[in-house]
Amino acid sequence: MPLQTLFRNAILRIEEIWKNKRTMHQKKTAKQTECGNPPLMATPVVAGFPSPAEQYIESPLDLNELLVHRPAATFFVRAAGDSMTGAGIRPGDILVVDRSLEARDGSIVIACVDNEFTVKFLRSDGERWYLQPANRKYKPITFSEGMELRIFGVVTAVIHQFVKLSNGKGT
């Protein structure tokens, strides 16, 4: 059988499976989509030649369910500045922060240093704690007598948009 025929048959079979799966989950998906939860593809995307079998869809994706594990202790904050670009945090990104997690050496934290908020890696050299940026243009924040450090939470995720769409409010 020629390759083109095999490929066409595979696409037709996928379309048939897709229709059956869609019918089975139509009510559930419709309700979740009405609530604003877009669907999640069942297989991860490969940065190469796409496979026609990658058309299967799981149930809709709820970003709160994925990113917020302790709702009462979680907040979102928008990043500013470029001191954490090496960690994948860019200006305008939204950080998901969990206040219930214990900050450890290597955690990315939201900290308040002398009443100034910042996001940095929390580091320890065994004798002292310091805040480490992820950009060589910036120096670590070390603490001397009289300086105050408060940790507000641990960053658990970053939401980075490649295309910023208008929300009808001018932003």
Scanning the structure block, which residue is given the tokens 């940095």?
Answer: 120
129/120 Cα distance (integer angstroms): 12
Strand partners, 95: 77, 158
Task: State the DSSP code for 154.
Answer: E
Nearest to 79 by CA among 147, 135, 139: 135
Q: What is the dihedral sign for C-alpha 85, 77, 145, 127?
A: negative
Q: Which residue has the tokens 């940065």?
A: 47
- Tokens found for residue 18: 């897709």
Catalytic residue among 83, 124, 137, 139: 83
Catalytic option among 100, 120, 164, 166: 120
- 83 tagged catalytic: yes
Q: Which residues are catalytic?
A: 83, 120
